[in-house]
Amino acid sequence: MDSLKKFWKFLNEDSWQSWLVSLVLIVVIIKFIFFPALSFITQTPLPLVVVESCSMYHESNFEDWWEKNSGWYESKEIAYEEFKEFPFRSGLNKGDIIFVWGRSEYNLGDIIIFDAGGEYAKPIIHRLISTNPYSTKGDHNPSQASFETNIPDENLLGKSLFKIPLAGWVKLIFFEPFQPPQNRGLCN
């Protein structure tokens, strides 16, 4: 108990050594306690995800966005009244952090996170446009663009429950310089 008090006193010192030890402790606690516990609770290996692309971005308010994109969704038998009730109907912005829940049933309109495999090294965050089979499309992707179809159950990582707007830029700012020029910065 005495050594624990000494260690606590050391952490409260105003020195670079105590600052460095505190920083290492924070990283260890987050990486080896917080995230594993959160993964266990949410039943997904990715309980918090940063949106890294503009594929779910809406460049205008919902009404204007729908007017521009309605034809594609209506061709998939998704009506305005239905889309209006979808979670995150106004999309997601690059830099949003989303909380992912893996213990879920997936419904039309949910924003899901899945492993696309193949050429995609990172999971994809898109809207579910069909549940049988699972198929998705990014809200911002052009209507003529292909969309993901026949996503196997084992590739589903979870669905988005809520977002923390733009907080993910704390991470993204370090990786943006390595992105192709057309993928850098805020969505527009």
Tokens 């305005």 correspond to: 80
Q: How far is CA 32 from CA 29, 86, 114, in A?
A: 5, 35, 24
The 10s digit of each residue's pLDDT in 98-147 is 999 998 899 999 999 999 877 667 899 999 999 989 999 999 988 766 67
pLDDT by 10s per residue, the chain, length 188: 789 999 999 988 989 999 999 999 999 999 999 999 999 999 999 999 999 999 999 999 999 999 999 999 999 899 999 999 999 999 999 999 999 999 889 999 999 999 987 766 789 999 999 998 999 999 998 876 667 888 999 999 999 999 999 999 999 999 999 888 888 888 87
Give the burial string for 109-138 (b: 16+ CB within 10 Å, else e). Answer: bbbbbbbeeeeeeebbbbbbbbeeebbbbb
- Whether residue 129 contacts residue 78, with contact meaning beta carbons closer than 8 Å, is answered with yes
Domains of the chain, CATH where assigned: 1-42 (no CATH), 44-183 (2.10.109.10)
Residue 151 CB burial class (10 angstroms; 0-12, 13-18, ≥19): buried
pLDDT, residue 183, reads 85
